Structure 1
Amino acid sequence: MTIEISDADAAPALHDAPRRQAGNSAAFWAATGIARGHEVIRRPGYLAVAGDARAGLRVLIQEPGLDADTVAEITALAHRASGPVDAEDPFSATDLSHLGMRHWQMPVMLRPAGPAAAPTMDVTRVRDSADLYAAEQAVIAGFELARFEPHRPGEMFPPSLITQPGVDVFVARIDGEVAGACVTVVHEGYGSHYWVGTPPAFRSRGVGRAVMLGSLAHLARVPVTLTASRLGRPLYESLGFTAATPSTWWSRR
C-alpha cells in the first residue's frame, strides 16, 4: 500500500474529522460492496451499499443536513431493503427518526500522524484467504453479528476485499491462533479503522490494543480517524486519539 501525504495532512484539525470520517467510511463500504458484488449507489449527499438479506443496506451520509429530496431517496432505499438497515451520520445533522429505527451516538475520534509502540503479541497483515477467513470469524464473534451466522467463509470479507485500493486487514495471534482483527482504510491522505474485534474467549488479554498498535505502525505517516464505542473509547484515547464530535448511527434489524 502506498501512502501519499501533503502538508495539510501533517496538522489535522478536529473540526474536519467528521468530514474525513465520512469520506473514509464511504471508501471502505464502497470497497466492501464491490468485493461482495453488491450494488454501490453514489449520490452527492450520501453513499449506499444495497446488499442481500444478510448484509442488508448501509448508508453513509457525506454532508451535514441533507435536504428533503435526498432524505426521501434514503427513505425509499430503506423501505426496499430486504435485510437490516444501518445508516451512519458523522455530522449528526440529518433526522431519520421517521424510519422508526433505533439510534445512538458514538464519538468520531482523530489521531495525528505519528509512530505507535510495538504490540505485545504477533500482529500481521492478512495476505491469504485462510487468514482472511479467520479474521472474518473473529469479527463476527467479537461484534456478535448474528446476521452472518451460520458462518459462510468469504461472505463478510470476500478474498477480493484485500485487493481493493487502500484496504488492509490485520490479525493478532495468541499461541498461533487468531485472537482479534481489524480493517484499515487509507483514503485521501487519512487512515481509519473498522471492525476492531476480539472474540469473547480472548478478551481482557490486550488483544484489542495489540491489533490497534500493529495496524497503526502501517499508518504512522497519516492522521487516523475512527468511530468509537463507549467501551472502546478509553483504549483509543490511550493510543493518542481525541474525540471530535458525536456521530449518530441508525439501525433496523
Structure 2
Amino acid sequence: MTIALAEAPLRQARNSAAFWTATGVARGHEVIRHPGFLAVAGDERAGLRILIQDDGLDAGAVADLTDLAGRAKGPVDVEDPFSSTDLSHLGMRTWQMPVMLRGPGPVDAPAMTVAKVRDEEDLHAAEQAVIAGFELTRFEPFRGGELFPPALIEQPGVDVFVARLDGAVAGACVTVVADGFGSHYWVGTPAAFRSRGVGRAIMLGSLAPLVDLPVTLTASRLGRPLYESLGFTAAAPATWWSSSR
C-alpha cells in the first residue's frame, strides 16, 4: 500500500480522535464532538484534551474552542496536526513535533519480552511506566486506573503493550487501529530504564500486529531518531498548545 505523506496529518487527526474518544468513554468523561474538533472534558487531574480535526478552524470554531478551554476543570491540551489554527490568544505554551508515517512492512523481533496487556495488574504497571516516562505529575500521587482505566483495553482497536527488562515493566505504549490506519501513543520509558533498548523493543513489539497497515505517530525530538530507524518518515509539523508547565 502506497500512502502519501500529505495524508498523514489528517490520518493522525482522525486516529487521535478515535483514541481520545475511547479514553473518554473508558474514563467516564464527557466526549464533545464539534464540527471542527473533538474534545474530552475530564476532571481536575485529567483536564481537557482537544483534537483539532480540520485544516484551519473558522472563527466560530475557534470561539467555541476558546469557550470550552475557559471552562475546563483542569489543564488544557490542544493538538493541531495541521499547524494551521492560531490559538496564541489562549496564552498557553506551544511547541511543534513532527507527524510521522510508516508504510506497511515487516519488523524485527524485539530484544526483550513485549506483551499485550490483558489484566489489571499489567495495566497499572503500564500506567506507572507512562506517568514516569512522561513526567505526568498531574497524575501523582498514583491512582491505579486513572490514566488507563480497565475499560480502555476493552475498546475496539485499542491495545496497551508493556516491555519487560529483568522481570520488571520497563516501558509501555498504546496502539489504536481505526479506518485502516494504526497509530502509537504514550510510548514511554522511565528514566531508570533508558538507554537500554526499551523504546526500540516496545515499538517493535507493538508494530508486529500492525505490519499490514500504514502507521502514524507524533514524535518528540528525542524519539524521532528511533522512529526514523524503524521506517517512519516525517510528514509535517503538528502544533501543540498546553496550559501545563
Same fold (TM over 0.5): yes
Shift of 1:82: 1.3
Shift of 1:44: 1.5
Q: Take 1:245 and 1:175, find their aligned partners in 2: how far apart are those partners? A: 38
Moved over 4 A (4+): none
User: What does the per-residue CA deviation read over 1:105-160, in whole Å, with 9 as the maximum and x for residues that have no partner?
Assistant: 00000000111100000000000000000000000000000000000000000000
Q: Take 1:207 and 1:159, find their aligned partners in 2: how far apart are those partners? A: 24
Q: Take 2:164 and 2:56, find their aligned partners in 1: how far apart are those partners? A: 43
In structure 1, runs of 5+ residues without a counterpart are: 1-9
In structure 2, runs of 5+ residues without a counterpart are: none
Match of 2:21 among 24, 30, 37: 30
Q: Take 1:163 and 1:207, find their aligned partners in 2: how far apart are those partners? A: 26
Match of 1:19 among 10, 19, 23: 10
Q: Is 2:131 aligned against 1:140?
A: yes
Q: Is 2:69 aligned against 1:78?
A: yes
Q: Is 2:224 aligned against 1:224?
A: no
Match of 2:166 among 175, 183, 197: 175
Q: Take 1:200 and 1:104, find their aligned partners in 2: how far apart are those partners? A: 23
Q: Take 1:113 and 1:47, find their aligned partners in 2: how far apart are those partners? A: 28
What does 1:96-135 correspond to in 2, within 5 Å? Answer: 96-135=87-126
Instruction: Give the match's secondary structure for 1:157.
Output: coil
Q: Take 1:239 and 1:230, find their aligned partners in 2: how far apart are those partners? A: 15
Instruction: Give the match's secondary structure for 1:124.
Output: strand
Amino acid at match of 1:107: P
Tell me how large the CA RMSD over aligned residues is.
Answer: 0.4
Count of aligned pairs: 244
Instruction: Give the match's secondary structure for 1:249.
Output: strand
Shift of 1:68: 0.4
Instruction: Give the match's secondary structure for 1:105.
Output: strand
Q: Is 2:219 aligned against 1:202?
A: no
User: What does the per-residue CA deviation read over 1:210-238, in whole Å, with 9 as the maximum and x for residues that have no partner?
Assistant: 00000000101100000000000000000
Q: What percent of counterpart residues are identical?
A: 77
Q: Is 2:70 aligned against 1:56?
A: no
Amino acid at match of 1:250: W
User: What does the per-residue CA deviation read over 1:174-209, in whole Å, with 9 as the maximum and x for residues that have no partner?
Assistant: 121100000000010000000000001101100000
Shift of 1:43: 1.4
Instruction: Give the match's secondary structure for 1:11.
Output: coil
Amino acid at match of 1:205: R
